[in-house]
Structure 1
């Protein structure tokens, strides 16, 4: 099948959306699908306001139209709600093509936190964007329920997997800091709620691996914490493995793939009892906990120190990318040959 994936999040951006899409891309190619990825790296770009690490495409409307016209896809998937996503949506509607979308990021909460404008405005914008989609794919049951309550009617739950070849136990030698090491990996942005982690009264060392617009301010505010940027998957994987507990302070994530990457590395999780962490840990077998969810995040982190790395690894191995790819293909909306004409 010729599948066009349109995304404003792509390499070299270091985030969970890129990780999901690149894993999907790799596996679709492996089973002989013909793919076109329309991403910012094919366009002239400018930095996203308040988040300069994210490039936004210039000339998206004409560029997306030209690429889709030339590729003649049998299915179009719009992965993000940025300039490229909006351009692809417009083109598909004009041509009468069906398409699918995905809801990877809680943009309503993020934009509300940045602007303080009413949350309902941003949910309305997202409903408008995803409304014509044949299937709006969401990563968890909690997000499905949340968006259903906000009036979304075309939702499909799409599970995510973790690459257990990249993320695996490799020992603790990557960090030479006092232990225990409480680790966070991910974007350093306001929606990740990092002060809730960095303010905790914990022995040992707090380590933040990642980049983002809040990084410099947090470095100044928390001089005792260690701030690191990973270069490539090999280094990132070694940092995951070197932690003793992975602390995930976000209250707004749709899923939190980094928690699965930590578990695959043999590192237990401490998080708030909210959507995202609850979904990731929903399949835990009785008697084999791999993390703790608690409004007292420091207590959850301390208790997680006693958990079994082997149980963490075994749990992560249950999240198969093969199943995720099968779901994705089942949700796609085929474009008939007559619709190209």
Structure 2
């Protein structure tokens, strides 16, 4: 298998898409797969307005086809729905090449937070984008239920993993001088991460934020007593996790949250809203606390045994994630292209909200705001 992975998310971005693609690429060799990438590094690009970390590739049909001929893939996976993903999708359809996709990001909710675009319109476009493939990979059962309720078909499970050698409990105080307990949050500083819900909580001790992004200045002004450390990686990031007393995850829109696994692997209990991602990773495991009252969840997490958190994280490996990923690709390729969902059945203006059993949705932002 010579697999082409097309992704609009790539360095210098630090997010779950980039990390997942990197891990699958690394694992491919051990599974007899040669993996090649098509990323913004292969094209001229422009910074996304208001979010310069994200590059919008200037992709043309000719440039994609030229690279396709050079790379000569036997299988194709499209990780994102941006310019590169859209161009590769078009190339696959023209060539009759089966391909898989993955659903990483709630773009309808992200876009609606920034512009007056109805979520139903965005979901209709995304549904049509993914319907042309042979299968769409999703990270959790609750996300699978939600997307199925929204009319997505051909859904396949693909979990995530964590490096439990790097992310592990450690001795020493990573935050000397800061009052305890330490409540930590790690992630991109952007409006969709809902960090204000954490920073405005009345909590004892100290709040620490690791990460960077376009919302940093606003958040620092909102919570001048919080400690913003910027982006950390590797050992520095692992030490920050291990030095915290609780990890607070205020996002209502993440589809998984690899940071949840990293915190647990370091022995740190998680506090979060009961939405997609935390519901699937924490749920009833006893490795954290989920509550519509985030303050109550944060305080309850302090009582969770750290050994229980580590034990739960050990269930997630990148090896198992890679096995699922490559098996899905082989199966979907053998099945061939899916039939596109008829437009008459799912019109943007007529899309119904998923039932409560479908898990997280854009409605959660209203429930927990």
Pick aligned residue for 1:315 from 306, 312, 320: 312
2:192 equivalent in structure 1: 191
Distance 1:62 1:50 in 2: 29
Q: CA deviation at 1:274?
A: 1.3
Contact 2:162 2:261 in 1 (8 A): yes
Distance 2:182 2:50 in 1: 30
Q: RMSD between aligned alpha carbons?
A: 1.6
1:339 equivalent in structure 2: none
1:237-316 correspondence runs (5 A): 237-282=238-283, 284=285, 289-316=286-313
Distance 2:234 2:265 in 1: 14
Distance 2:209 2:232 in 1: 14
Contact 1:61 1:84 in 2 (8 A): no
* Cα deviation 1:260-307 (Å, max 9, x = unaligned): 1100011000001111100111472xxxx1100011111111111121
Distance 1:335 1:31 in 2: 18
1:62 equivalent in structure 2: 62
CA 1:83/1:175 → structure 2, altered by over 3 Å: closer, same or farther? same
SS of the aligned residue for 1:20 comes to helix
Q: CA deviation at 1:331?
A: 1.4
1:136-285 correspondence runs (5 A): 136-176=136-176, 177-282=178-283, 284=285
Q: CA deviation at 1:200?
A: 0.5
TM norm structure 1: 0.93
Q: CA deviation at 1:113?
A: 1.2
SS of the aligned residue for 1:273 comes to coil
SS of the aligned residue for 1:137 comes to strand
* Cα deviation 1:129-155 (Å, max 9, x = unaligned): 101110110111111111111111121
CA 1:165/1:63 → structure 2, altered by over 3 Å: closer, same or farther? farther
2:76 equivalent in structure 1: 76
Contact 2:12 2:53 in 1 (8 A): no
Q: Which runs of 4+ in 1 moved over 6 A?
A: none
Q: CA deviation at 1:46?
A: 0.9
Distance 2:317 2:259 in 1: 15
Contact 1:172 1:242 in 2 (8 A): yes
Contact 2:10 2:40 in 1 (8 A): yes
Contact 1:179 1:204 in 2 (8 A): yes
Structure 2 residues without counterparts, runs of 5 or longer = 336-369
1:35-114 correspondence runs (5 A): 35-114=35-114
For the pair 1:17 / 2:17, whether they are aligned, the reply is yes
Q: CA deviation at 1:172?
A: 4.7
